[in-house]
Amino acid sequence: MIEWLDSKNIEAIAACVTIVGFFVIGYQIRLSRIASAHAALASQSVELRDCMERLGDHQRNNDAVKWNDDVIHLVNLLELTCAVIYDGMAKGAAGEFLMDSVVDVTEIMERNPDVLEVIREATENAHVYAYLYRFVLRHKFELKNLRVALSYVNDKPPVRMGASQRPWLSPQKY
């Protein structure tokens, strides 16, 4: 029969196959991260485009209530996108594109005082739009008006609330 298939050689072959498997797993993880970044990019792009179109329609129709709702929806979408960026889920070209799209939209928002007023009214406490606020702070020279609109009392940066500050997430004590 085959003489090289003794127990020592089989262990060495199994070790080599395991090592190669680790590289394949690492490659698959990298591909899945790229795929998730592209999925986030695709959904964010479609949602941004739709939201901007609705904003234009509401502005042409003088529908202030729907326009305000869509501004808040747009800011929530930007907050989610900034969270994806800060979590490190969007890397490479997709991450750069997400970052550029947030910069473009925030620059448009920066120039519109009506949008800034809606954001000011929507920012009711310190943990609202924390990731978007961090993003704006990173670009503070270009986005000064938006930074002020997002800031809470005395320009303190928003903080993420822990479970102890959110009673609905804290375990109940009986």
pLDDT in tens, 36-55: 778 878 888 888 889 888 98
Residue 20 in domain:
no
Residue 129: inside a domain, yes or no?
yes
49 contact partners, CB below 8 Å, separation of at least 6: none
- At CA 151, angle to CA 149 and CA 154, rounded to 5? 120
pLDDT at 171: 41
Number of domains in the chain: 1
> Token pair for residue 159?
């903080």
pTM: 0.66
Residue 157 lies in a domain: yes
Classify residue 29: in a domain, yes or no: no
Say if residue 167's pLDDT is above 50.
no
The stretch 71-92 carries a mean pLDDT of: 83
Alpha-carbon distance of 55 to 5, in angstroms, equals: 71
What is the token pair recorded at 46? 């479609």
Domain that holds residue 139: 36-161
The rounded mean pLDDT for the chain is 76
Q: For residue 31, is it within any domain? A: no
